[in-house]
Amino acid sequence: MENVRIPLVKGVVSRQARTGWPEGTVEDEHGREGFAGNYSMLYRRRPPTQWTRIEGPSRPRAMDMDALAAPDADDPDATPTLLLENEDVGIYVSRRRAAMPYYFRNVDGDEVHFVQHGEGRLETEYGDLSYEAGDYLVLPRGTTYRFHPASADSYIVIVESRTGEVALPDRGLLGHFVPFDAALFEHPEPSSTPLPDDQDEWEVRIKRGDVLTSFFYDACPMDVVGWVGTLCPLKINVRTFRGIHSERTHLPPSAYATFRGPGYWIVTFTPKPLETAADAVRPPGYHRNVDYDEVIFSHSGRLVSRSETTGPLLTLHPAGVHHGPHPRAFELTRDVERMDAYVINIDTHRALRPAPAFDAAEQQDYWEQWKTPLTAAPLAGHRGSQT
Ligand SMILES: [Fe+2]
């Protein structure tokens, strides 16, 4: 058949990936290009995550998001805190509680802000956008802006797209309207209110090559009265998303892709009913994402692959290092009907380097959590649906 590369089948396998794991085995995906390229499913006798020791830096890592010290929480003049970076992407956190006393213009990259907690007003030269928890705010490279938080629990995760523009993924045969309709993006309107004149001096702080330069004006520089074009800040909330799902099999993260840029993807897992087929495996399988480092954190709720005790962790699974369900995940998902969680996933082609702030908030024993045996067989089994 044209364009179909028939897989080779060797030994004891399931003929339908992600379902019907042969008794006494777990499925381990060895694939290229995330979950879209050449692959083989390996059927193993033991989870490949049951390591006893790791020597060296390429290991599963996790950071307690609540423990992260972000200087801009208490110092309005501070800038966001770097967590992880590579040549293509910088990942930062802002916990700002008071308005920025300066305007900011990032010339090092587009910015995608995800509002984990909090609400307020984003002032830009294109006009204002209000924001709340669950919003993605996209700021094109070089946009002048400042944040005016209106809540004490502000927590924003920022992805800096360093080598090219933020874009929407190609949705291919899925069409234009899932997992969300791009018509839902909100845009700022030019402000019609008088400019503030309560300051003697106005600062615009430009970041170029990770170095800051300040320009000062004797009037508020946000004096745009109109704009026309194809470039502007955008806002969309994850609650508007309509992710697809299958009753009979687990879909890969690419089905939930939200944004992409050179060297990275941003994915939003949204609430869904869990699979009901008797041979379905509800948590995602084991894999070693050989082309991507994976960063993941929960916005609300719990990912089905994690244990019930997981706190507000931001995790880093380096490319090539196995990961997969927590040993209790098969048991914990057996008698629930839905995954009511919003989870943010950032995948990067190049290796991410943790910054000191990540190291300082690290949960040191995270790599150990898969050591214990599984507490239930992987298949949903007793659920009664026909295969
Ligand atoms: Fe993964």
Residues 6+ apart with CB under 8 A from 71: 78, 81
Tell me which of 1-5, 222-226, 334-338 is least confident. 1-5
Mean pLDDT of the 368-373 span: 88
What pLDDT is stored for residue 302 in this prediction?
Answer: 76
CATH topology of domain 68-238: Jelly Rolls (2.60.120)
Residue 205 has pLDDT above 60, yes or no: yes
Q: How confident is the model at residue 381 (pLDDT cuts 50, 70, 90)?
A: low
* Short-list 171, 215, 340, 348, CA closest to 272: 340
Residue 76 three-state SS:
coil
Single-letter residue type at 361: A
pLDDT of 193 reads 84
Domain segments of the chain as ranges: 26-63+246-368, 68-238
Q: What share of the chain is helix, strand, coil (3-state, %, to 5)?
A: 10, 35, 55
How far apart are alpha carbons 70 and 153 in whole angstroms? Answer: 12
**What 3-state class would DSSP assign to 174?**
helix
Q: How far is the CA of 255 from the centre of ligand 1 (A)?
A: 13
Determine the pLDDT at residue 2.
67
Please check the confidence at residue 58 and state whether its pLDDT lies above 90: yes
Query: Residue 308: what pLDDT?
Result: 53
Q: Where are the alpha helices (DSSP H) in the chain?
A: 329-332, 356-360
Q: Using the predicted structure, report yes or no on whether residue 383 has a pLDDT greater than 50.
A: no
104 CA distance to ligand 1 centroid (A)? Answer: 34
Residue 32 C-alpha to ligand 1 middle, in angstroms? 12
DSSP 148: E
Cα–Cα dist 361/69, whole Å: 8
pLDDT digits (tens, 9 = 90+) for 267-288: 999 999 999 998 999 888 999 9
Could you tell me the CA-to-CA distances from 80 to 101, 267, 340 in Å, in that order? 14, 22, 30
How far is the centre of ligand 1, averaged over its atoms, from the C-alpha of 211 (Å)? Answer: 34
Residues 6+ apart with CB under 8 A from 369: 307, 326, 327
Distance from the alpha carbon of residue 152 to the mean position of ligand 1, in angstroms:
33
pLDDT digits (tens, 9 = 90+) for 137-150: 999 999 999 999 99
Beta bridge partners of 268: 344
Contact 344, 285 (CB under 8 A): no
Query: Which of 36-40, 147-151, 292-296 comes out lowest in average pLDDT?
Result: 36-40
The hierarchical CATH code for the domain 26-63+246-368 is 2.60.120.10
How many Å lie between the centroid of ligand 1 and the Cα of residue 292? 9
Mean pLDDT of all residues in 61-78: 96
- 355 C-alpha to ligand 1 centroid (Å): 22
CA of 191 to the centre of ligand 1 (A): 43
pLDDT single digits (tens) 90-139: 999 999 999 999 999 999 999 999 999 999 999 999 999 999 999 999 99
Cα 237 to averaged position of ligand 1 atoms, centre (Å): 24
Task: Please report the pLDDT score of residue 309 as a whole number.
Answer: 55
Q: Separation of 287 CA from ligand 1 center, angstroms?
A: 6
- Rounded to the nearest angstrom, the distance between the alpha carbon of 98 and the centre of ligand 1 is 36
pLDDT value at position 385?
Answer: 38
Give dist(CA 354, CA 363) in Å, integer. Answer: 13
Q: Looking at the predicted structure, is the pLDDT value of residue 386 above 50?
A: no
Residue that has been written with the tokens 């019907």 in this structure: 20
CA of 227 to the centre of ligand 1 (A): 42
Q: How far is the CA of 221 from the centre of ligand 1 (A)?
A: 44
How far apart are the CA of 140 and the centre of ligand 1, in A? 28
- Which residues partner with 65 through β-bridges? none
Average pLDDT over residues 188-198: 89
What is the sign, positive or negative, of the torsion defined by CA atoms of 19, 22, 23, 28? Answer: negative
Q: What is the mean pLDDT of the chain?
A: 93
